[in-house]
């Protein structure tokens, strides 16, 4: 049986050393900040300029992979006046993220057993963390634990793999070992839930659902490859690609969004 902490330590070492897919990670960071801007606070996706909504100042981030794989989002959130605490199961990732973000409060922890008292945070940001667990029971346990540390009225932004997306369905099936071997899927993936089941589980954990949608609509395999190519071109080429990828998010407005969106995104509020 694979030791989970050792496995993610290995992933952290590899990504910290090589920092592959830098331009792609820049896009994903901007995309995540756009959701924060839309649902929690006014964070400028390109530079951290914002007008913070009052009463939503303490945030828990449920992993630190973004902070070691790319520029990350913590610096922009902190620049917006938000107080960010973060956890990750990997000591290697935690140490690397702390070194890059002086002043960030970090903990080595599993999101299913958080080292915090009740009602400590105004919000939780969970970017594709819970879809690395082996079972939906683990997802449910994590959601209950997240609810425990959020104050009543606090907000949750959660993203998870969208199993209605044809490539996600293929990837999570019998093709996964081959895709891992080819490097197309660079790390282990786990269980996820379709939108109705996820909405129900979020409600059962103690949240009222404010919004649920599908995001990240660019063709990911093509986009990652194209971003890698553009990275080797003059810097002036990068802006147009990032704008093109961002424009794909317009597909969210179409009824087909559940087929084109790579992730399900949830915005929820902790019930009293």
CATH number of the domain encompassing residue 55: 3.40.50.150
For residue 196, how many other CB atoms are within 10 A of its CB?
A: 9
Residue found by looking up tokens 């606070």 in the block? 41
Per the structure, the count of domains in the chain is 1
For residue 17, with 0-12 CB atoms within 10 Å meaning exposed, 13-18 middle and 19 or more buried, which class applies?
Answer: exposed
pLDDT of residue 57: 85
Distance CA 100, CA 143 (A): 28
Distance CA 238, CA 240 (A): 6
pLDDT of residue 156: 96
Written as six digits, the tokens of 69 are 């794989």
pLDDT > 90: what percent of the chain?
66
Which residues constitute the domain of residue 164?
4-270
Distance CA 261, CA 188 (A): 20
Please enumerate in sequence order all residues whose Cβ is within 8 A of that of 136, keeping only pairs 6 or more positions apart, or say none. Answer: 191, 193, 197, 201
pLDDT of residue 21: 80
For residue 47, with 0-12 CB atoms within 10 Å meaning exposed, 13-18 middle and 19 or more buried, which class applies?
Answer: exposed
Please enumerate in sequence order all residues whose Cβ is within 8 A of that of 80, keeping only pairs 6 or more positions apart, or say none. Answer: 41, 42, 43, 48, 49, 50, 52
pLDDT of residue 128: 92
Helix, strand, coil % in the chain, rounded to nearest 5: 45, 20, 35
pLDDT of residue 51: 44
Written as six digits, the tokens of 163 are 């199993």
DSSP state of 113: S
Residue bearing the bigger pLDDT, 226 or 70 = 226
Residue found by looking up tokens 């939503």 in the block? 56
pLDDT of residue 55: 41
Distance CA 105, CA 158 (A): 21
Distance CA 204, CA 21 (A): 37
pTM across the whole model: 0.88
Distance CA 125, CA 156 (A): 6
pLDDT digits (tens, 9 = 90+) for 25-49: 999 999 999 999 999 865 433 334 4
131, 191 contact by CB (below 8 A): yes
pLDDT of residue 47: 39
Distance CA 183, CA 166 (A): 19
Written as six digits, the tokens of 168 are 């996600």
């Amino acid at each position: 049986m694979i030791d989970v902490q050792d496995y993610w330590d290995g992933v952290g070492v590899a990504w910290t050393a090589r920092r592959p897919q830098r331009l792609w990670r820049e896009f994903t960071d901007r995309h995540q900040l756009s959701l924060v801007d839309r649902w929690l606070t006014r964070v400028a996706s390109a530079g951290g300029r914002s007008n913070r909504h009052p009463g939503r100042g303490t945030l828990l981030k449920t992993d630190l992979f973004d902070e070691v794989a790319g520029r990350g989002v913590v610096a922009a959130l902190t620049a917006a006046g938000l107080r960010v605490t973060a956890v990750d199961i990997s000591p290697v990732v935690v140490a690397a993220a702390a070194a890059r973000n002086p002043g960030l409060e970090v903990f080595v922890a599993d999101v299913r057993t958080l080292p915090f008292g009740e009602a400590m945070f105004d919000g939780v940001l969970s970017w594709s963390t819970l879809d690395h667990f082996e079972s939906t029971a683990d997802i449910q346990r994590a959601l209950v634990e997240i609810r425990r540390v959020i104050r009543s009225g606090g907000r949750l932004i959660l993203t998870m793999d969208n199993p209605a997306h044809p490539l996600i369905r293929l990837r999570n099936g019998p093709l996964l070992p081959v895709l891992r071997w080819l490097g197309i899927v660079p790390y282990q993936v786990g269980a996820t839930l379709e939108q109705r089941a996820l909405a129900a589980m979020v409600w059962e954990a103690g949240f009222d659902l404010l919004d649920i949608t599908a995001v990240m609509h660019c063709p990911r395999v093509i986009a990652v490859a194209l971003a890698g190519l553009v990275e080797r071109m003059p810097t002036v080429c990068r802006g147009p690609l990032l704008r093109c990828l961002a424009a794909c998010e317009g597909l969210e407005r179409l009824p087909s969004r559940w087929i084109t969106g790579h992730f399900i995104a949830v915005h929820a509020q902790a019930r009293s």
